[in-house]
Amino acid sequence: MSCIRFNTPAQLAAMRELAPSMLTAEEVARLHPAPPVTESKLRRLRLLAADANPRIRESAANNPHTPDDVIATLAHDPDEGVRNAVARNEKTSCDVLRELADDPSDTVRGWLAVNYYVPRDVMDRLADDPSDTVRALVRWKGSLVDA
């Protein structure tokens, strides 16, 4: 016996008629609002950022609600993965992104190069980066922006 189930044309028509319409991102956000960012959540993010496990600190660095002072500290984390997350985070401040342009890791600078919120002066610096990969990412991102 086959596991494949075939629907009749009438069943397919009924499913199409009953299918929900596609919603825009804004409509979905209105229907399913994110919970408010509370002091309790901010305290938890601070605790996560101080955890001994670098993957836990990385989760704090990825979070758009992590406070700026915590992100600034995580930008100097000894673990490259944590600094990668700071470089990718769209809420990281321009000052911290500028600092990351001097990070010793090509990977961190590469993530910085593809972050759309990096200031123009940082992109100009990364365009002359010693790493071929970072320079290639800057060119790739520039081709997307110019398109």
Residue 24 within any structural domain of the chain: no
CB count in 10 Å sphere of residue 138: 24
- Domain extent, residue 51, equals 38-146
Residue 30 within any structural domain of the chain: no
At 138, which CATH number? Answer: 1.25.10.10
> For residue 63, what are the contacts with CB-CB under 8 A and spacing of at least 6?
45, 89
Residue 81 within any structural domain of the chain: yes
pTM reported for the whole predicted model: 0.77
Three-state secondary-structure class, residue 72: helix
Residue 29 within any structural domain of the chain: no
Interval 99-111 mean pLDDT: 97
The string of pLDDT tens digits covering residues 28-83 is 888 888 888 999 999 999 999 999 999 999 999 999 999 999 999 999 999 999 99
Q: How many domains does the chain have?
A: 1
Residue 13 within any structural domain of the chain: no
Name the token pair of 105: 């890791």
Residue among 91, 93, 90, 71 at smallest CA distance from 82: 71
